[in-house]
Amino acid sequence: MEDTALQAAEQLLGGLPPSPAVWCSGLRKRYGRRTAVDGVSFTVGRGEVVGLLGPNGAGKTSVIKMLLGLVRPDAGEVLLLGRPGRDPASRERVGYLPELFRYQPWLSAAEVLAVHVRLARASVPAEEQRQALALVGLADRAGDRVNGFSKGMQQRLGLAVALVARPELVVLDEPTSALDPLGRADVRDLVLSLKARGVAVLLNSHLIGEVERVCDRVVILDKGRVAASGSLAELLGQRELRLRLGAVNAAAEARLAATGSLHRSGDEFTVVLPAEDDGSTVPGLITDLVGLGVQVHAVEPGRISLEERLLGILRHEEEQR
């Protein structure tokens, strides 16, 4: 009888969507008389990449530390992968790159990874651990001591540490602060490959262009509160395309209008791109326009950048005070 009830409960739970990777509600933290975090709530869905943005001192790192149980909140609740944030079992499936990273200088890179695999109580074959180092560009430094690593190399090692134990959620606090431009591009690819594998990522970065490229949603913090949050489409509006075109004939204009709502002013055209775009809309449109004899002088994205939007939100917050 008990077994049947258990099976029924399991079936019921199995039918439910998986719990979010991160769920937090009403997080608050004071340090002395200073309120660092003042009622922060948000979620990160499974396989979702969420960017945490905000000026210096906004409370981003404090929020991350509360999520991971490294700082005790004064108030609020945290669920990681469906379990209470305090439960060590939930943290075993979370990879974390701290803002200030330091690894045991007397260990080799491979040994640092092995230690973290053991801490996560995971079973990761040596070959897979080597692959994690290769992924961050440290394949040929596996046997070298951390002592002799540059800051950027230590940050790369930190990324490998965050990824090695097959996490379901990865929290990256300023992952590119010490990296060269190539390293930054690698991190972008890495985040996208995590997303493709269904791993959720919470990314705190001041590099807004980076966030805009990889994140599905952003949460903007200001003075310890959520100033705005939403998908890029929600925050930035519809995606548009601005074109400067010559020799536009009726067929070309019809092709433009078939893509989305069209506005023309002389040789300047603005077309609203469809919400569901697999990336082929713009190349397809340009190929067709060229085929129709149109001279394409300029093509540029027409919506405001995340940076402009962020500055607008923060200035508005300032005026409200």
Ligand X SMILES: Nc1ncnc2c1ncn2[C@@H]1O[C@H](COP(=O)(O)OP(=O)(O)OP(=O)(O)O)[C@@H](O)[C@H]1O
Should residue 39 be labelled a site residue for ligand X when binding is judged by CB under 6 A?
no
* Conformation bin of residue 174: beta by default, left when phi > 0, alpha when psi is -120 to 50: left
Should residue 223 be labelled a site residue for ligand X when binding is judged by CB under 6 A?
no
225 close to 28: Cβ distance less than 8 angstroms: no
Closest separation between CB of residue 63 and ligand X, Å? 7
Nearer to ligand X, 165 or 218 (CB): 218
Sole binder of ligand X in the list 20, 49, 50, 60 (CB under 6 A) = 60
Closest separation between CB of residue 81 and ligand X, Å? 23
Q: How far apart are CA 210 and CA 44, in angstroms?
A: 18
Sole binder of ligand X in the list 21, 53, 58, 120 (CB under 6 A) = 58
Closest separation between CB of residue 104 and ligand X, Å? 23
Q: Write out the DSSP string of 90-159.
A: HHTTEEEE-SS----TTSBHHHHHHHHHHHTT----HHHHHHHHHHTT-GGGTTSBGGG--HHHHHHHHH
Cα angle value 265/270/273 (rounded, 5°): 165
Query: In 210-318, at which residue ranges do the beta strands (DSSP E only) sit?
Result: 217-222, 225-231, 240-246, 262-265, 268-272, 295-301
Q: How far apart are CA 311 and CA 142, in angstroms?
A: 42
Nearer to ligand X, 207 or 285 (CB): 207
127 close to 149: Cβ distance less than 8 angstroms: no
Where does this chain touch ligand X (CB under 6 A) — which range of 40-48, 51-59, 137-145, 248-256?
51-59
Phi/psi at 268 (nearest 5 deg)? Answer: -95, 130
Should residue 59 be labelled a site residue for ligand X when binding is judged by CB under 6 A?
yes
Nearer to ligand X, 65 or 195 (CB): 65
- Tally DSSP H helices, then E strands, for the chain: 12, 14
Nearer to ligand X, 56 or 265 (CB): 56
Closest separation between CB of residue 137 and ligand X, Å? 25
Token duo for residue 120: 């996560």
Q: Give the CA count within 13 Å in the CB-facing half-sphere of 103.
A: 31
Amino acid code (one letter) for 33: R
Closest separation between CB of residue 65 and ligand X, Å? 8
Should residue 98 be labelled a site residue for ligand X when binding is judged by CB under 6 A?
no
Map the footprint of ligand X across residues 9-38, applying CB under 6 A. Answer: 31, 34, 36
Nearer to ligand X, 55 or 302 (CB): 55
Sole binder of ligand X in the list 27, 43, 61, 314 (CB under 6 A) = 61
Should residue 91 be labelled a site residue for ligand X when binding is judged by CB under 6 A?
no
Give the residue from 220, 234, 184, 179 showing the smallest Cα distance to 55: 220
Closest separation between CB of residue 226 and ligand X, Å? 13
Give, to the nearest 10 degrees, the angle between helix 281-291 and helix 250-259: 170
Should residue 76 be labelled a site residue for ligand X when binding is judged by CB under 6 A?
no
Should residue 220 be labelled a site residue for ligand X when binding is judged by CB under 6 A?
no
Nearer to ligand X, 36 or 211 (CB): 36
Strands 268-272 and 262-265: antiparallel
Should residue 205 be labelled a site residue for ligand X when binding is judged by CB under 6 A?
no
Sole binder of ligand X in the list 56, 150, 265, 320 (CB under 6 A) = 56
Closest separation between CB of residue 157 and ligand X, Å? 21
Closest separation between CB of residue 86 and ligand X, Å? 20
Residues near ligand X (CB under 6 A): 31, 34, 36, 54, 56-62
